[in-house]
Structure 1
Amino acid sequence: QMIAKGLDFPDVTLVGVLNADTSLSLPNFRSAERTFQLLTQVSGRAGRADKLGQVVIQTFNPKHYAIQLAKKQNYEKFFGIEMNMRHRGGYPPYFFTTQIVTSGPNEADVAKKMFEIDGQLKQVLSSQAVILGPTPKPIMRINNQFYYQLVIKYKKEPELDAFLEDLLLNSQKEARQKLKLKIDRDPIDFI
């Protein structure tokens, strides 16, 4: 990790990456990008100036395009494949995403609130918008707080801003019931 962060170790000529494909299994549309980025950064650190370097990558998914193209340092081809995947999947930069998260100490209350929001959104959004969820977050419970989420994928939704603003205002009243609401436009990840 220290090498990937950009610290310069001039005598490093061998870099090993264990479980290089771990992030590929995360529920995140940027997982291939992160894997490619990590592998290309690390491989750039092995060998400096007149010293040759080697990179050893351990993976259970050696044929994945992110790993194959990182091995070849082929940025352009990776970009082309990744943009095609995102376009087909309806993810940025072709679509906008907004993540709504509710949390609180009682799972039933948190889930109920998220399903209420889902029902309200279906009244506001056009048929072109896609709602993923509601679902528990991948890490569902932290410090006795339960987390549920939904993600909206859309191109243009003129009524969404006003809806989200009202949702935030109303959530302040529910804070007394220990329910919290978070809205993240264009989230970095969904974890």
Structure 2
Amino acid sequence: MNCHYCGFNKGIPRHCPNCKSKSIRYYGTGTQKAADELALLFPEAKILRMDVDTTRKKGSHERLLTDFGAGKADILLGTQMIAKGLDFPNVTLVGVLNADTALNLPDFRSSERTFQLLTQVAGRAGRADKEGKVYIQTYNPNHYAIRFAKQQDYEGFYTYEMNLRRTLGYPPFYYTVGITLSHKQEEFVLKKSYQILQLLKEELTDQVKILGPTPRPIARTHNLYHYQILLKYRFENQLETALNKVLDLTQQVENKDLRLIIDNEPQNFN
């Protein structure tokens, strides 16, 4: 088993660590599992898999794409890395598995990124004279990002998304600052997060909306726990002063192992 965030790996367990039972089944919906299912459904087809595991070696990415473009494989299966920038005239069918996975992420850009991904991947089919088809697997077919992507309605998506962001107070109508704190002890980083929250409340005006602290969606990597605070504002003269005080707090001796990231207009909340 490999962690793609911190590189940690260990062998697959053969026994339950609690009851020692050998009755263990493995579940998953990753590219390797999908490749196994495709091989059962299309035993005659040659399948190429492109993900972080198959493209670790130098030149492997280009080699896989070259082989597929040369017709050495019938199916190219991969992660988002195959969604854009590829031009294969003979590709006439594109399928998207679990298209709405990103919609469940706690990020206000999740709908935008889902719409963007689906419109990009749909453009991989029928790029020459042949007609193309796109199949989208989703649990939320009525979600506006899925619906507008299906209709290829860019303006409709833009209008709907901007109305939501204006109502909820997100960019481009508000500015944002993300503060991330990390430490090897969760109790410590949680305590410091609330200490910084109190400092921000004292230094900033009520024009700033403060969200958090909350654990990051990927709450622990590299043996560190991560907590985040998000600031939303339109006008705030005290912001720089407040953030400098946050920096000063993290420079105290007792906080020497506390990691701090201040991200102006963060592009990723994962």
**TM-score when scaled to structure 1?**
0.95
Aligned counterpart in structure 2 of residue 4 of structure 1, from 83, 89, 108 = 83
Structure 2 residue 207 is matched with structure 1 residue 128:
yes
**Structure 2: which 5+ runs fail to align?**
1-79
Match 2:105 to one of 26, 33, 44: 26
- 2:154 is aligned with 1:63: no
Residue 148 of structure 1 aligns with an amino acid whose one-letter code is Y
Alignment of 1:83-94 (within 5 A): 83-94=162-173
1:2 to 1:14, Cα distance in 2 relative to 1, 3 A? farther
Deviation, 1:131, is 0.8
Partner of 2:180: 101
Q: Judge conservation of contact 1:174–1:180 (CA < 8 Å) in 2.
A: no
Map of 1:143 onto structure 2: 222
State how far apart, in whole Å, the 2-side matches of 1:70 and 1:52 are: 18
Residue 156 of structure 1 aligns to which amino acid in structure 2?
Answer: F
CA 1:91–1:175 in structure 2 vs 1: closer, same or farther (change >3 Å)? farther
Q: 1:44 aligns with which of 113, 118, 123?
A: 123
Summarize the Cα distance change of 1:39–1:175 in structure 2 as closer, same or farther, 3 Å threshold: farther
> Do the aligned partners of residues 35 and 181 (structure 1) sit closer, same or farther apart at CA in structure 2, a change above 3 Å counting?
same
**Corresponding letter in the other structure for 1:145:** L
State the distance in 2 between where 1:6 and 1:66 align. 21
Aligned residues: 191
- Which one-letter code corresponds to 1:190 in the other structure? F
Match of 2:267 in 1: 188
| Residue number among 243, 251, 254 corresponding to 1:164 in the alignment | 243
Identity among equivalent pairs (%): 56
Compare the two structures and name the one with the higher strand fraction: 1
Structure with the largest fraction of helix:
1
Equivalent of 1:115, from 165, 190, 194?
194
In the TM superposition, what whole-angstrom CA distance separates every residue of 1:88-117 from its partner, at most 9, and x where no partner exists? 111000001111111111111101111001
CA contact (8 A) 1:15 1:46 kept: yes
Closer/same/farther in 2, CA of residues 144 and 23 from structure 1, 3 Å limit = same
1:175 Cα deviation (Å)? 7.7
Residue identity in the other structure for 1:84:
N
Answer whether contact 2:250 2:256 (CA < 8 A) is retained. no
Task: Tell me the alpha carbon deviations over residues 29-48 of structure 1, each in whole angstroms, 9 at most, x when there is no partner.
Answer: 00000000011011111002
Secondary structure of the corresponding residue to residue 181 of structure 1? strand
State whether residues 97 and 151 of structure 1, in contact with CA within 8 Å, keep that contact through their aligned partners in structure 2.
yes
| CA pair 154-174 structure 1, distance change in 2 beyond 3 A | farther
- The whole-number CA distance in structure 2 between the counterparts of 1:29 and 1:2 is 22
Larger radius of gyration: 2
SS at match of 1:45: coil
Looking at both structures, which has the greater relative contact order when contacts are Cα pairs under 8 Å and sequence separation is at least 6? 1
Give, in angstroms, the shift of residue 174 of structure 1. Answer: 4.7
8 Å CA contact 2:189–2:226 kept in 1: the answer is yes
Which residue identity does 1:21 align to in structure 2? D
1:145–1:86 distance in 2 versus 1, CA, 3 Å:
same
**TM-score with structure 2 setting the length:** 0.68
